[in-house]
Amino acid sequence: MDTTAGLRALPRHEDPDADWVAWADAYPTFVGAGLRCLSMGRTQASFEYVGTPFPLNPNGAVNGGIVALAVDQIMGVMGARVAPTGTMPVTAVLQVQYHSPAIEPLRMDATAIHAGRNLQTIEVVVTDARGRRCSTATGTMAVGNLEQRIAPAVQS
Output the pLDDT for position 1.
72
Nearest to 63 by CA among 95, 104, 122, 108: 104
What does pTM read for this prediction? Answer: 0.94
Q: pLDDT tens across 144-156, in order?
A: 998 888 877 655 5
Alpha-carbon distance of 60 to 134, in angstroms, equals: 14
State yes or no: cis peptide before 152, omega within 30 of 0: no
Domains and CATH numbers, the chain: 3-150 (3.10.129.10)
Q: pLDDT tens across 64-98, in order?
A: 999 999 999 999 999 999 999 999 999 999 999 99
Output the pLDDT for position 53.
95
Dihedral pair phi/psi, residue 55, rounded to 5°: -65, 150
Region 96-117: mean pLDDT is 97
